[in-house]
Amino acid sequence: MTGGYFEIQNISGGYGSGRVVRDVSISIARGEVVCLLGRNGVGKSTLAKLACGFLRPMSGAVQLAGVEITGKRPSENLTLGLTYCPQERVVFDDLTVAENLSLMRTDRRLDEFEPYFRAFPRLSERRGQYAGTLSGGEKKLLSFVRGLSEGSAMMVIDEPTEGVQFENVVRMAELMLAQKEAGASFLVVEQNLTLVDRVADRIVIMDHGEVALSAAASELDRQQILAHLTV
């Protein structure tokens, strides 16, 4: 145990007997944002799933606030303060935008979502619209707001900006930074350097299922990052 708030320790795993992630360790402190980058197919999403209980690791351990959570179900992890937002948009198409959000609250009130509606007027305008009719980028925003509004101390978010336009990516960054200020920690799988530049304290780059590079964001320039992302 190295003292991080969220500790991924020597995790290996994948699908069936196929090993995709090999011996990956990442330690995230309270209030730290770590961005996980890498080319397509190197195992970033698989690592996120292994860390959050959607896949059972072949070996290694995961700890949250000093508590071992390896192999716990995602629903158990949520009660312990770990939110996982998968890459696939998690919205219910046959519920309205408002219903998708109010589902998160036992009293069904929408008041607490007002800051998110102010940040994303498109969502506000579409409150009464079925989520199934939203564009891909709008669904990603809705999914992001659902995840962030869980208010967990640790959030693992997989490619939140896919299909989201620039100004909304900037607002996503601002909302994340506000939660970071309040003490939340993030592991963000991301290819969009607009978001990475704004939120990352540390950058971890994966290649072939392993950590190829881990450094403070301030120590890396764009060229070094891009060298790892281009084939």
**Binding interface with ligand ATP (CB under 6 A):** 15, 20, 38, 40-46
**Of residues 101, 95, 141, 148, the one with CA closest to residue 122:** 141
Nearer to ligand ATP, 49 or 171 (CB): 49
Q: How far is the CB of 38 from ligand ATP (least distance, A)?
A: 5
Nearer to ligand ATP, 32 or 158 (CB): 158
Q: How far is the CB of 186 from ligand ATP (least distance, A)?
A: 17
Parallel, antiparallel or unpaired: strands 210-216 and 202-207: antiparallel
Q: How far is the CB of 230 from ligand ATP (least distance, A)?
A: 13
Positive or negative torsion for Cα 54, 59, 26, 78: positive
Distance of alpha carbon 224 from alpha carbon 202, whole angstroms = 14
Q: How far is the CB of 86 from ligand ATP (least distance, A)?
A: 10
Nearer to ligand ATP, 38 or 57 (CB): 38
Nearer to ligand ATP, 112 or 210 (CB): 210
111: which 2 tokens? 């008041």
Q: What are phi and psi of 143, to 5 degrees?
A: -65, -40
Q: How far is the CB of 191 from ligand ATP (least distance, A)?
A: 7
Nearer to ligand ATP, 34 or 42 (CB): 42
**Of residues 27, 60, 82, 30, the one with CA closest to residue 214:** 27
With beta carbons less than 8 A apart as the criterion, state whether 199 and 184 touch.
Answer: no
